[in-house]
């Protein structure tokens, strides 16, 4: 009886540990334009994020978060923000940063860790 209980307990621990995991959501802006960018993301949860300066040819993260569950399904990248302001001198951004189809999404998994990377690329043609 003691052996049966030990085997049952080990099985339950194994099943529960397999359900654990973590999911990371990382958002980046890839500045492939010749402009210096000032980016001000406003988060839905947690409030304002610091102003981020991105030089031409540079990629910087604008939001990093995680949830304590493994989730293989990526979510809409813009739900993490109320808005994102992108400024560069007198030019106006014509590419809609709040449109999910403008973001490149890559997802990966390592055992129980899931990572979803969202990348928004800007080029000179995205400004007028």
Q: What SS3 state is found at 83?
A: strand
pLDDT at 47: 64
Q: What SS3 state is found at 74?
A: coil
Distance CA 100, CA 105 (A): 10
Distance CA 16, CA 10 (A): 10
For 68-91, write each residue's pLDDT tens digit. 888 877 789 898 888 899 999 899
The ranges assigned to domains in the chain are 21-126
pLDDT at 71: 81
pLDDT at 27: 95
Distance CA 95, CA 102 (A): 8
Cα-Cα-Cα-Cα dihedral sign, residues 65, 107, 27, 105: negative
Looking at the DSSP bridge assignments, the partners of residue 84 are 41
For 20-71, write each residue's pLDDT tens digit. 789 999 999 999 999 999 999 987 666 667 899 999 999 999 988 888 888 8
pLDDT at 6: 56
């Amino acid at each position: 009886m003691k052996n049966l209980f030990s085997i049952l307990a080990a099985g339950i621990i194994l099943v529960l540990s397999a359900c654990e995991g973590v999911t990371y959501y990382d958002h980046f802006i890839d500045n492939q334009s010749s402009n210096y960018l000032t980016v001000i993301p406003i988060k839905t949860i947690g409030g304002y994020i610091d102003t981020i300066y991105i030089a031409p040819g540079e990629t910087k993260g604008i939001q990093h978060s995680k949830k304590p569950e493994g989730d293989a399904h990526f979510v809409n990248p813009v739900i993490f923000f109320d808005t994102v302001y992108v400024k560069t001198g007198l030019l106006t951004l014509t590419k809609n940063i709040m449109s999910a189809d403008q973001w490149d999404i890559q997802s990966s998994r390592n055992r129980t860790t899931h990572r979803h990377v969202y990348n928004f690329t800007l080029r000179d043609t995205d400004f007028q």
